[in-house]
Chain A
Amino acid sequence: MRNNYLWLLHMVTGAIVVVLLGIHLVTLHPGGFLFIASKVDTVMGIFGLQTASAIRPGGGMSASVYIALLAFVLYHGIYGLRGIILEIAPSDGAGRIVTLSLIIIGIILFIGGFMSRLFFPQG
């Protein structure tokens, strides 16, 4: 039953990551894909909205979007990676070690990303 909930969470986080990573690419990516942001603003400007600009670094939403993206993308990626590795794991014991290692890696990356964003907000 627990695996069903984890799988459901994997699907839900996948849907959320599609949206948040789209926002990240449009607004936060330094220099690379930023030209899309102005087009989004142009289209949404018809309705009096500046959506892409509002969530750029320095805007009110950027830190929250970043941290939410960090949590969801790490869960989605690590759960998917775990599923693939468990298929070729030689034993249940090895599978448990893989699961534990991936959880630790995920927690370290989340804390690292969270701290760097909060305490070193360079943009």
Chain B
Amino acid sequence: MRQTQHRPNYLGLRGWVWGGKYGLERYLYLLHRLSGLWLTLFVMMHLLATIIFRIQGQNVWAATVNLFQDPWLKVTAYVAVVALVYHGLNGVRLTLQELGFALGQPTPPLFPYRDALRKARAFMVVLLVAMLVLAFVFFLDFFPWVR
């Protein structure tokens, strides 16, 4: 009998993007990771900047707060907020599913398979609408005359 060498099912970082025929949930998972990484980096930088500038006194802190009005920093913050909205709402979905909710009725595992996104479509639509509304509300911040 032909012996085949064992190869661990390990694709490394490439496997995040492509490891075969991924479904929509897999890409939501990828986006969840990327938004989480961006948020962690942003929070650490935000925290370091806050600590460093805050301890230098009221004047330095006031100047730093004004610096946050810089358009490039606002875009960075906006991307972080969009990432937060996505990560938060998708996290709520994942947590509910982890606890056994929003999975839809159990069905026999027959091809073509239906994942939880399609079984609980209404729930997904609500999350998507909430995500878009929140992203839009935060985007209004770029247009002072709308406030």
Contacts and interface: CB of A to CB of B under 8 A. Distances in A.
Given A15-B92, A77-B36, A109-B44, A122 B58 contact: yes
Interface string B72-91: 00100100010010001001
B109 to A, nearest CB: 26
A17 B43 CA distance: 12
Contacts of B33: 84
A58 to B, nearest CB: 14
A31 to B, nearest CB: 6
Contacts of A36: 137
B20 interface: no
Contact of A81 (B37, B65, B98, B147): B37
B117 interface: no
Nearest to B53: A122
The majority secondary structure among interface residues of chain A is: helix
Interface in A67-101: 70, 73-74, 77-78, 80-81, 84, 88
Interface string B38-55: 011001100110110011
Contact of B74 (A15, A17, A32, A122): A32
Contacts of B92: 15, 18
A77 B61 contact: no
Contact of A30 (B13, B68, B95): B68
Contact of B54 (A15, A33, A116): A116
A33 B33 CA distance: 25
Contacts of B88: 14, 17-18, 21
A119 to B, nearest CB: 8
A61 interface: no
Contacts of B8: none
A123 interface: yes
Contacts of A32: 68-69, 74, 77, 141
18 contacts: A11-B95, A14-B88, A18-B88, A30-B65, A30-B68, A31-B68, A32-B77, A33-B81, A73-B43, A74-B43, A77-B40, A88-B13, A109-B47, A109-B48, A117-B54, A120-B54, A120-B61, A123-B61
Given A18-B88, A21-B88, A109-B44, 19 more contacts: A15-B92, A15-B95, A30-B65, A31-B65, A31-B66, A32-B69, A32-B141, A35-B141, A35-B147, A77-B44, A81-B37, A81-B40, A84-B37, A109-B48, A112-B47, A119-B55, A120-B54, A120-B55, A122-B57
